[in-house]
Amino acid sequence: MRHDHLLTAKQLSRADIETVLDRAAAFDDDPEAASERYADTLLALCFFEPSTRTKMSFETAAKRLGGDVVDMGSVESSSVKKGESLADTVRVVEGYADGIVLRHPKQGAAKMASEHVDVPVVNAGDGAGHHPSQTLLDLYTIRERAGLDDISVGIMGDLKYGRTVHSLAHALTNFDVRQHFVSPESLRLPRSVRYDLHEAGAQVREHEDLEAVLPNLDVLYVTRIQRERFPDEDEYEEVAGEYRITPETLDAASDDLAVMHPLPRVDEISGAIDETENATYFEQAHNGVPVRMALLDLLLNDD
């Protein structure tokens, strides 16, 4: 893998993905193996939107590699509040750090930032756009649970605004994966993602009900249906219940079904699922550290 930045999952080939996942597996097996590799390396965390898992796992990954982080802090306490542009912010931060992890509410923000700096930029979520490092840990988790070829993956919830969904859908086109998208009509995949999947020749089906497709799935990737997206509360209530996973829902599923979620969840996965063999979301979150260690290792390494 040789990329200057990680901006979208679309830029990742199968070989790139396998390189990251293999290296992540090595770090997972032996977290101390690279503990001094990036001493004196500083990673800048620029989060213009709230984040818990992504931010902390990047911070943990940097420190596990022997490096450290500088954190922009909240937007409220930064120069952004004074009207500074993102372009200026990253140009300043470039002078402090060896790489920039950027989360921003505007789509395309990471790409624009990458055009203004010479250090690697990692897109840690750009509005409803992309979240490629999440996708790498999703793929790592899927590979561990089901393998990455000849599988059926259901992706359910808010497919329209869910950036993790968009990135995952793109990345899965590198593998022999049947993708089933389950959502209310109003939250279907955006046209741009459907266009890419079509161009990539992906095996894609869209559904409004989980029921018909659930028995055939190896993985069910659930995302939160975002109440705030609906113009009418009743309309939200009507569909939200249809997209909630309970033990009863899983009666029709394969015993081996891996239930995944990028987190945070609200009520779309019942707490009763947590203790089952199907629950994979906490393991998935844990995988964020070795995967981001591998990603940073590949992006920050000058060799």
Partner 1 sequence: MTDTELRVSKIQSGTVIDHVSAGEALHVLKLLGIDGTGGTTVSLGMNVPSDRLGRKDVVKVEGRELSDSEAEVLSLIAPEATINIIRDYDVVEKRRVERPEEVGGVLVCPNRECITNAGEPVDPTFAVLDDGLRCEYCGEIVREDITAHLRD
CB of 193: closest distance to partner 1 in angstroms? 8
Q: Which is nearer to partner 1, 215 or 229 (CB)?
A: 229
CB of 191: closest distance to partner 1 in angstroms? 5
**Which residues have C-beta within 8 Å of that of residue 160, sequence separation ≥ 6?**
128, 183, 186, 187, 188, 189, 190, 229
Two structure tokens written together for 124: 């840690």
| Active-site pick, 8, 41, 54, 280 | 54
CB of 131: closest distance to partner 1 in angstroms? 14
Q: Which is nearer to partner 1, 135 or 278 (CB)?
A: 135
**Which residues make beta-bridge pairs with 102?**
46, 123
**Alpha-carbon span 104 to 133, nearest angstrom:** 14
How far from each other are the two terminal CA atoms of the chain, in whole angstroms?
A: 12
Q: Which is nearer to partner 1, 79 or 276 (CB)?
A: 79
Name the pairing type of β-strands 151-156 and 177-182.
Answer: parallel
CB of 194: closest distance to partner 1 in angstroms? 10
198 catalytically annotated: no
The residues of the shown chain that bind partner 1, judged by CB under 8 A, are: 85-87, 104-109, 111-112, 115, 126-129, 191-193, 195
| Active-site pick, 103, 143, 170, 261 | 103
131 catalytically annotated: yes
103 catalytically annotated: yes
- Reduce the secondary structure of 121-151 to three states and give it as a string: EEEEEECCCCCHHHHHHHHHHHHHHHCCCCE
| Active-site pick, 10, 53, 188, 207 | 53
**Which residues have C-beta within 8 Å of that of residue 128, sequence separation ≥ 6?**
107, 160, 161, 162, 163, 166, 190
Q: Which is nearer to partner 1, 19 or 226 (CB)?
A: 226
User: What is the residue type of 177?
Assistant: V
- Cis peptide preceding 264, ω within 30 of 0: yes
CB of 86: closest distance to partner 1 in angstroms? 6
| Active-site pick, 131, 163, 261, 292 | 131
Q: Residue 184: left (phi > 0), alpha (psi -120 to 50), or beta?
A: beta
Q: Which is nearer to partner 1, 53 or 111 (CB)?
A: 111
**Which residues make beta-bridge pairs with 155?**
181, 221
By annotation, the residues acting in catalysis are 53-54, 82, 103, 131
